[in-house]
Structure 1
Amino acid sequence: MADHAPIEQRLVHRDHGLDWSEFLAAIGELAATAMDARSRAWRIHVFYGVRRVPGVEGAATIVVLQGSHALLAGPSIAAVASVLFGDPHEPVTVPGLGPVAERVNRFAAAARGLARTPAGLVRYAVALQAAVRAVKQRQAEGSAEPAPSVERALTPLNGGCGDRRTARVVRLDVDTLKRKNLTLTGVLLTGISHALQRYLDEEAGGCPPDLAALVTIAMTAAPTDLGVNRLAGAVVDLHPEIESLPVRAATVQASLERERRINSNEVAVERIRLVNQLPSVLYPWLSRQGRRRGRAAKARGIARLHTVVSSINFGGAAPWSLGGAPLAFAAAFPPLTFEAGLTHCFIGAGHQSSLSILTSPDVMPRADRYVALLENAFAEITGSLVPR
């Protein structure tokens, strides 16, 4: 639905002349503030004259888009950025997103939704039964890969996040990270594995051998009728028990490729289609059930994952600007979850790429130490692994 409200109603002019560390503290405050999509799904904050921004000479203007996840999803963020900083004459398209509706009668839409709910519940139950039968048949035929273990050791990263947030950004030169036989995601996961192992060794007295990250995988070959969020959440083993960095990188890459295969086939497509058929009346109940199971698993000392790693492709060095000034870099901060109190987001834009980190002081009290370990890990990768 198109929103014709003046942009000034959603534009917030923030502090002038902040230091980079002060700006990150402000981002932490914004990240700790949930947005209600029913009243205001997005807002733009503009910070002027921010000093000592990494890789920027002089002061910088920073534009922050704060949005509800109900509105903003990974595949659509690049399109939103092109609206803000790209050519205003270029058409904007988001794969999987239908045409804009100029007007929506909320009462009529609610009535139609209520009328369709019984039939929707029946269709969902039928589709769910068919999906279960298909999985059992593939398992019987031996064509389904065995599911990985979902019971892993609990770490401080799985602790309660509290009300505070800590945001950090690491600038990355992608060209220096390209390694032979490794994808960029594989390199990033290896660096995160190395840094987290060292951090947990220092802060928690040891790192569990089953350290794992939830990685968002773009299903680029999936049909567009699945919608905007054609993403799979794959739990990738980080193998901190392997001391040799080249061997660990190759093993992490193999784990990532296995998860890509599992989450890019017809079964994965049907799984997303099934989720899309979920009646909205069931979503709150299923969400509560998931959190309840997660809390019960924590009580037993069990975790499904330890951190989250997502990525957004801006398609190379995006020629974007604002008021005649070129884009320096972009960053994004996926929200923390009840399972993981540490999230990462890589934004690929050529030499303007970055890796952002969001956590909580209740989960990671020494975030700057973790950032330093990350930077050291990437330096070790470039020094010990063969370039592409």
Structure 2
Amino acid sequence: MERMSPADAQMYWMSEKIPNDQFLVYVFDGAPQSLDAAIDLVIGRAELIPDLRLRIADVDCALDYPYWVRTDAEWDQVVVHDLADPTWDNCLDGIAALADTQLDPRDKAWRLHVFTGVTNVPRCASVATVAVLQICHALADGRRSSALARLLFGPTPPEAAEPGRSEQPYSVAQATAVAALRLPKQIGSLGWHGLNAARTHRRLVDDMIKGLVPQQAKGRPLLLTNTRPEGARAVRTLVRRRDDFPGPTVTVSALTAVSLGLSDYLRECGEDPTTLGAEVTMAKSGAARSRNHFRNVGISLYADTADLGSRSRHIADALGQRQLRNNHPALRAGDEAFAAVPAPLLRWGILQFDPNRVPDTVTGNTVVSSVNRGAADLRFANAPVLFTTGFPALSPVMGLTHAVHGIGDTVAISVHAAESAVGDIDNYMEILGASISWNQIVSSSR
């Protein structure tokens, strides 16, 4: 059995307060000749992927973290959805509704949803098959889950794993005994890593004073998009070519378009977007100590900078500054100290978290998650991939999230919004689409 890291256990325990399942969407051109055979292929591959043969064993031992134990991939983990009118818009509505049923990772940590015969799909001349990989966030972050999807649908079959067998978790008595033996060592490790974190933090402060490392990002005032998600929830996607995102990176170009589009939308709603900022996911530096190897950073979107070229450069610089701070040894030392936190202390901390409390400031007024999912060589049986997307979860103070996903030379920008934050999502998508085009025109004219 694999003991869960504190970071992954935190993600699991927090899911009881704020649902955080991930939904990775892959759109394939056409339909498999045999749907049953295609599902058999997926399950057969899952049996060869160690991470997709895990579930959480949580015996509710107060002294210890949960464990990952081995299980089997089974046919009932694939759900086929038959839409009465299988248009792309109705498929998106069906995907949005999937968030209402979160996984119980103590049973299974992933599920695959399949929508067949979908019409009016972007970049598709006939019908499409849409596969949605729902995955427990404790099992994998965005990059790791994308890698797992590539093993399911990629051109190269996974290597053979150990023979399948289900495992039984510890009993409460066994878990308590093991944790009690480990606890003194953990406390000592926490003390050592805590001292190291304090020492490197002093170095961080010195480096900030010298101007070598940027200050911690300040919180931002709440805007309409930080309204508690209420009413209908909707997802939408814009599918574009890589060339539609000029600039140093797709992420910077997409953030520039979001800055332009969201600030225009907020002005329409009577909001002042001057302080507009985004919460951006960023991979941590160094070797991964957990399955979730990322942190969220806050950056300004420079909505008050009229010149788009300057705005884009400011955003690129802001990301670079956050990466510079992300690479500082103090943050690594802090992660190591957190990895030594005993389970009772982390459990207590999570119990104190009140999801209904509205903070004075937020890291960002929207979330933007950007992941490159590699070459466009994925297939669902005989159907080749057209594009891929995803929809970051909403939270009590985040009613609008964005995702940027690339595969091959295709990039999709997706939006997940609650009615309380975005009253007319189709209007917002028109504004966002126009912003992508305008950013491209302005960039090509420079």
Which TM-score band (shorter chain)? 0.7 to 0.9
Provide the residue aligned with 2:363 in structure 1: 304
Partner of 1:216: 281
1:132 is displaced (CA, Å) by 2.7
The equivalent position to 2:263 in structure 1, one of 197, 206, 221, is 197
Distance 1:6 1:305 in 2: 38
| Alignment partners' CA distance in 2, 1:170 and 1:111 | 53
CA displacement at 1:339 relative to structure 2: 3.2
- Following superposition, the deviation at residue 356 of structure 1 comes to 1.8
Compared CA separation, residues 385 and 297, structure 1 to 2 (3 A)? same
Q: Which moved more, 1:236-245 or 1:346-355?
A: 346-355
Alignment of 1:349-368 (within 5 A): 349-368=407-426
3-state SS in 2 of match to 1:135:
helix
Of 72, 79, 82, which aligns to 1:5?
72
| Residue 373 of structure 1, CA deviation | 1.3
CA contact (8 A) 2:93 2:235 kept: yes
Partner of 1:254: 317
Paired with 1:230 and 1:349, the residues of 2 have a C-alpha distance of 22
> Aligned to 2:153, which of 85, 88, 103?
85
Cα distance change of structure 1 residues 278 and 341 upon mapping to structure 2, 3 Å threshold: farther
**Aligned in 2, Cα 1:329/1:263: closer, same or farther, shift over 3 Å?**
same
Contact 2:204 2:213 in 1 (8 A): no
**In the aligned structure 2, how far is the partner of 1:111 from the partner of 1:164?**
48
Matched residues in 1 for 2:188 and 2:397: separation? 31
Partners of 2:314 and 2:73 in 1: how far apart? 52
1:66 aligns with 134
* Structure 2 counterparts to residues 273-288 of structure 1, below 5 A: 273-288=336-351
User: What letter corresponds to residue 191 of structure 1 in structure 2?
Assistant: A
Structure 1 residue matching 2:343: 3-state secondary structure:
coil
Superposed displacement of residue 201, structure 1: 0.6
Give the counterpart letter for 1:310 in structure 2.
Answer: S
Deviations 1:195-220 (A, max 9, x none): 110111112x123322111111224x
Separation in structure 1 between the aligned mates of residue 373 and residue 397 of structure 2, nearest angstrom = 28
Matched ranges for 1:29-178 at <5 A: 29-91=97-159, 103=167, 105-107=169-171, 108=174, 111-140=177-206, 142-143=209-210, 145-162=213-230, 164-178=232-246
Q: Which amino acid aligns with 2:280?
A: V
- 1:212 and 1:121, CA in 2 relative to 1: closer, same or farther beyond 3 A? farther
* CA gap 1:66/1:114 in 2 versus in 1, 3 angstroms: farther
Q: Which residue of 1 aligns with 2:432?
A: 374
Matches within 5 A, 1:227-242: 227-242=290-305
For the Cα contact (< 8 Å) 1:32–1:164, is it kept in 2? no
Partner AA of 1:360 in structure 2: A
Change in CA separation of 1:278 and 1:255 when aligned onto 2, cut-off 3 Å: same
Q: Which amino acid aligns with 1:112?
A: V
- Residues 75 and 228 in structure 1, CA contact (< 8 A), matched pair in contact too: no
Contact 1:158 1:340 in 2 (8 A): yes
Equivalent of 1:321 in 362, 379, 384:
379
Distance 1:39 1:130, change over 3 A: same
Checking the alignment, whether the CA contact within 8 Å between 1:213 and 1:237 is kept in structure 2 is yes
Instruction: Give deviations 1:245-288, integer Å, cap 9, x for gaps.
Output: 11111111111111111112322322332333233333343335
Contact 2:79 2:112 in 1 (8 A): yes
Distance across 2 between alignment mates of 1:211 and 1:156:
11
Q: Is the 8 A contact 1:190 1:252 kept in 2?
A: yes
Structure 1 position 376, deviation (Å): 0.7
Distance 1:125 1:338 in 2: 34
By how many angstroms is 1:330 displaced?
1.2
How many Å apart are 1:111 and its aligned residue?
4.2
- Partner of 2:36 in structure 1? none
Maintained 8 Å contact 2:279/2:368: yes
| TM value normalised by structure 1 | 0.86
Is the partner of 2:342 in helix, strand or coil?
Answer: coil
What is the one-letter code of the residue matched to 2:200? A
- Give distance in 1, aligned partners of 2:394 and 2:252: 22
Q: Is the 8 A contact 1:173 1:350 kept in 2?
A: no
- Structure 1 unaligned blocks of 5 or more: 94-99
Could you say which residue in structure 1 is the equivalent of 2:357?
Answer: 295
Q: Conserved in 2, the CA contact under 8 Å of 1:29 and 1:164?
A: no
Structure 1 residues 323 and 110: alpha-carbon distance in aligned structure 2, compared to 1, 3 A threshold: farther
Q: Once the 2 structures are TM-superposed, how far is the Cα of residue 387 of structure 1 from its aligned partner? A: 8.2
TM-superposed CA distance for 1:74, in Å, is 1.1
Segment of structure 1 superposing worse, 209-218 or 81-90: 81-90
Give CA deviations for 1:137-156 in whole Å, capped at 9, x if unaligned.
43246356342452321111
Whichever residue aligns with residue 7 of structure 1, its letter is E
Deviation digits for residues 281-316 of structure 1, max 9, x if unmatched? 333433354546x82524xxx33321111122222x
Cα RMSD (Å): 2.7
Note the C-alpha offset of 1:189: 0.8
- Opposite residue 131 of structure 1, the aligned amino acid is A
Distance verdict in 2 for CA 1:32–1:185, change over 3 Å = same
Q: CA deviation at 1:228?
A: 3.4
SS at the partner of 1:63? strand
Of 292, 305, 328, 1:265 maps to: 328
- What SS does structure 2 have at the residue aligned with 1:253? helix
Residue 41 of structure 1 contacts residue 67 of structure 1 at CA under 8 Å; is this kept in 2? yes
Q: CA deviation at 1:321?
A: 0.9
Partner of 2:4: none
Q: CA deviation at 1:57?
A: 1.3
